[in-house]
Chain A
């Protein structure tokens, strides 16, 4: 126990500031410290994300998992990954949509309560990537579901994914 406490004490806080968003014309660039309170004001709670691997090579999953490490500390920013699509505001989809995952992806989307946001992650999710469309793959996520935003990269860095999440919710926040 002493060892554990001592390691915690010595490690200290490692969390880095959130990435800065590009200013856009249709919405004022929010102060990111302000984001958490905005999320709370609009949603009344944390932003809840449900991840679906629709056929990825598992590279994107590794970078999504990295968002939980102490440097990015996603939950500290008021963004939470949830276990059920019924609890989610945003669907984070990776991979080209494999033919074998198409139905499961549609069903997961249907289970998310409206209003819902969809983000496609990685080169494959954004445009089909190296796999494209074939007998086994439907290509990009947009070929199967309405997609709000995409984040390219193979795999995209945690910072790019985080920025993408913020960009996805910003119009919703601005509208509200």
Chain B
């Protein structure tokens, strides 16, 4: 079986446009499941899952899965013929093989009405994930015949959380509106005293219909929406979008622009890591950390204005290049900033490391064991903190990471302390990369013209953001339109992991654990 599958894969996979080595293959029902099982065995990870309504073209719904392999990414598509009368379809679910697929399958159903069958015939989780009652059960907004701009009244429906029973067990409901300046989501804790027995998250509150909105935009402006999928990951998402479009149109982004994109991506990583390091200190009762790290973050953001024209780079990366060139005075200013950051972060790190009270809160808290992280397909810095070496900048370096030899930073303990150390080490590595980029910055144009992509072609853009790999799958429509665009944030993989990491810890440690993951609500909700 294994031999046949690898043979089938070798014979039938076709190249796919993208910034990483990418291939695609069509699978029937049986092959869809067999391939998933075989890929799991060979150590591949499920990166994302999405559905598409192609009934106008060939009478089919499609379900697509992208796997991350050692040699690149593989897209597996399965087409489901549907009849006019029923207009429904189902496919074999992947959750038994890749547990991370479960929420994605629920999201696919909410948007398209195509359902996943459970491998063991058990009852599937039919609770809405993105649909909370804001549109009728019979309406599937991502179908071609659905009107995306039509408003429906809200009809709130109960959401049965899994209950824990036993003597002294009670529930604490938190959210969707939280006590701090953070995004909305609901957490249901089952606790005994202050000990957490179980956590179940309910997300989807910030669902803004991004996928449907993409279909109303021309290819030339989709990057603006991509940047706003998760504002803290704007450079990564807009770069993923642009590189998908550029690979579809065989556009070569000028070397200077490519390098500036990488510089901007590292600035985004630095800004987020600095902010998180401060917030983590604060959540453990050390306000000094927040004050000093937030000051350093502000210094960086102000330099962003000098170098890139804005504090947050939501409109910096655009198809064919970048929006503004690096001014002549910027490199000197940036190099000065990097030295200041390096010194200050090293100083603050020693303060953090030597602070007994802080380390007492960090160590052993929110531990995510490596086997669970592996099984649930952890991505990004959360995976690296649990001893899984995965960083696309290292594994599949795309330009301009192909000549700087990024170091993959890992920790083994998987607790809050490990996720703190990862951020420190990655901040230093980012500073090294920024210096390297600035030293060898080529001269030349910063934009190249991008023609319209040929209709019905698909391109992938995968970028390692500060949080983990983000993906954009872009299918072109006729005359420069977007037929389908799927965006994936690594928070999809990492949200379920928090539910494991908190088990046995106390409720007051939850904000600290949550912050150490710092996942995107908006990126997940779409």
Contacts and interface: CB of A to CB of B under 8 A. Distances in A.
Please determine whether chains A and B interact with each other in the same assembly: yes
Interface of A: 3-4, 7-8, 11, 14, 51-66, 68-71, 81, 83-85, 95-96, 98-104, 108, 129-131, 133-138, 154-155, 157
B148 A58 contact: no
Contacts of A108: 177
A136 B134 contact: yes
B231 A65 contact: no
Interface in B309-354: 311-312, 314-315, 347-348, 350-351, 354
A11 B292 CA distance: 9
Interface string B223-234: 011001111101
B351 A3 contact: yes
Given A4-B351, A134-B148, A134-B213, A61 B181 contact: yes
A100 B207 contact: yes
Contact of B206 (A3, A7, A56, A157): A56
A100 B206 contact: yes
Nearest to B225: A130
Contacts of B231: 56-62, 155
B399 interface: no
B340 to A, nearest CB: 12
Nearest to A138: B151
A155 B68 CA distance: 33
B440 to A, nearest CB: 30
The 10 closest A-B pairs by CB, nearest first: A59-B231, A99-B134, A136-B209, A83-B179, A69-B294, A57-B231, A57-B228, A100-B132, A55-B206, A58-B231
The A interface, classified by DSSP as helix, strand, loop or mixed, is mixed
A60 B150 CA distance: 27
Contact of A56 (B298, B311, B522): B522
**Most chain B beta carbons < 10 A, residue from A57, A70, A83:** A57
Contacts of B130: 100
A7 B292 contact: yes
A101 B204 CA distance: 9
B419 interface: no
A70 to B, nearest CB: 5
Given A57-B522, A104-B184, A70 B206 contact: no
Contacts of B525: 98, 100
Nearest to B142: A135
A55 B181 CA distance: 13
B311 A157 contact: yes
Contact of A4 (B150, B152, B228, B288): B288
A84 B297 CA distance: 27
Contact of A64 (B146, B177, B181, B301): B181
B135 interface: yes
B208 interface: yes
A143 B92 CA distance: 42
A99 B154 contact: yes
Contacts of B208: 55, 96, 98, 131, 134, 136-137
Interface in B246-265: none
Given A103-B154, A136-B208, A155-B231, A3 B312 contact: no
Contacts of B520: 58
Contacts of B521: 58
Nearest to B175: A104
Given A53-B184, A69-B297, A135-B151, 8 more contacts: A7-B348, A55-B207, A58-B231, A63-B311, A83-B180, A99-B132, A99-B135, A131-B208
Interface string B12-56: 000000000000000000000000000000000000000000000
A100 B298 contact: no
Contacts of A63: 311-312
A22 B521 CA distance: 36
Interface in B167-186: 176-177, 179-184
Contacts of B138: none
B70 interface: no
Given A58-B521, A98-B206, A136-B208, A69 B298 contact: yes
Interface in B154-206: 154, 156, 176-177, 179-184, 204-206
B154 A135 contact: no
Contacts of A96: 208
Nearest to B203: A100
Contact of B312 (A62, A95, A130): A62
Contact of A71 (B134, B292, B298): B298
